[in-house]
Amino acid sequence: MPTSVIDSAVYRDIFGTEAMRRVWSDENRIQKYLDFEAALARAQARLKIIPQEACDEIVKHCQVARIDFAKLKTQTERIGYPVLPVVQQLVALCRDGLGEWCHWGATTQDITDTATVLQIRESLDLIAQDLNAISDSLAALARKYRDTPMAGRSNLQQAVPITFGYKAATYLAAFERHKQRLRQLRERVLVVEFGGAAGTLSSLGKQGLAVQAELAKELGLAQPEIAWHTVHDRFAEAGCFLGLVTGICNKIAYDVKLLMQTEVEEVYEPFHEGRGSSSTMPQKRNPISCVYITALTGVVRSQVTALLNAMEQDHERATGQWEIEWIVLPEIFVLSAACLAQTRFLVGGLVVDEQKMRANLDITKGLIVSEAVMMALGPHLGRQYAHDLVYDICRQVVATGRPLVDLLAENAEISKHMSRAELAKLCDPANYLGQAGEMVDRVLALREAPPVSA
């Protein structure tokens, strides 16, 4: 019976996705081993290292459906690694001893790491689709609410006005950077591993690098400048990238959770009948996707730490650190896929209450634009004196509950320089948005760049 939320019959589509689980499944991993063996056979036959007849026979049997998984399990437990048992079964499937040419000059780590690279490539294609979809939704929000004023907040207190489009555009900019990172890391991560026993390709003599090059072409991967058996910055970079991606997802989720509070009510998660209900409180509309995003991000972050620990590999073959990757890489990718799926749902159907945003701008009786007043009075009274004067009047607003504009207009020093109409204009939050709109436009312009290929 499944014991992990990733494989749970109840939780698996909350804490994972079917597509990403398929990428990291036993069947797909073993197929990637076989893809490696088939590609190696074709490369070596082309270089006349192994007979073409042997190549054809090996390739014919490189199908995961031909593998006996019960036997594979038993042999893996006995040997400690699954590659040799797969090779043994492949050899046995081939006729007339031709299978003996299988795995020629390769080692277990070559197959394991290259198979992982192939799984990562499939995973990154899925990640790219989600990044593009989330970016599309955030762009739509930024564009639609470009000029919709709301309270900016610092230390959970109202600061100065911003727009909701500006807020969405800050998220969008991060996702555009994620798309850049993904384009850049592909060339560093999607690299074949083929080095033989200690990485020097000694078993193939002077033909080693030629075989490596042909193998890379067969698999559609880059050729490394040198073996990387125990230098695993490639896998660590992929994990750290997902740590960054999920971190921004959680930033969005955190903001939405706070904006959904009863005392705020400016945005909501997409509505579905019964979603977020309480078993005892009928009025509740709890954040659900946001909660899962936060949980998923926390676990991804901890697993990325484990992946970084796995980089401490000794000499030319690691003594235990390598196996850490087997545990955490699938979890990092599956949990990240779930985090992105929840984020995609969240931003794709986010409910925005513009009226409540405006109402919340007014709850401080104008205090949110005190900076605007201070800056306008600065040329007349001096910046520091204007700051202190407005500060004192703000305290009066808090004490009396009267609107800031009234107290400003009643002040003799201020009224000498500004009429009530001018003060009223200063005290309208919609008039103190800086260049939020222009910044939104700058971020939206980034979308003209080519999308991440999926």
Give the confidence band of 322 by pLDDT, cuts at 50, 70, 90: very high
Q: How much of the chain is in helix, strand and coil states, percent to nearest 5?
A: 65, 5, 30
Q: Is the pLDDT of residue 147 over 90?
A: yes
* Measured distance CA(307)–CA(313) in Å, rounded: 11
Q: Is the pLDDT of residue 388 over 90?
A: yes
Write down the residue that tokens 């990387």 correspond to: 228
Q: Is the pLDDT of residue 453 over 90?
A: no
Is the separation of the CB atoms in 345 and 289 below 8 Å? yes
Q: Is the pLDDT of residue 210 over 70?
A: yes
Share of residues in the chain with pLDDT > 90 (%): 92
Give the confidence band of 447 by pLDDT, cuts at 50, 70, 90: confident
User: CA angle, corner 380, sides to 376 and 385, nearest 5?
Assistant: 85
Residue of 4, 278, 419, 453 marked catalytic: 278
Residue of 183, 317, 358, 447 marked catalytic: 317
Q: Is the pLDDT of residue 422 over 60?
A: yes
pLDDT value, residue 328: 97
Helix (H, G, I), strand (E, B) or coil at 103: coil
* Measured distance CA(307)–CA(230) in Å, rounded: 13
Q: Is the pLDDT of residue 275 over 80?
A: no
* Measured distance CA(133)–CA(392) in Å, rounded: 49
User: CA angle, corner 312, sides to 311 and 318, nearest 5?
Assistant: 95
- Mean pLDDT throughout 233-258? 98
302 is known as an active-site residue: no
- Say how far residue 44 (Cα) sits from the centre of its chain: 38
Instruction: Give the CA count within 13 Å in the CB-facing half-sphere of 449.
Output: 16
* Measured distance CA(304)–CA(247) in Å, rounded: 12
* Measured distance CA(17)–CA(5) in Å, rounded: 11
Classify each residue of 144-166 as buried b or exposed e, where b means 16 or more C-beta atoms within 10 Å of its C-beta. Answer: ebbebbbbbbeeeebebbbbbbb
278 is known as an active-site residue: yes
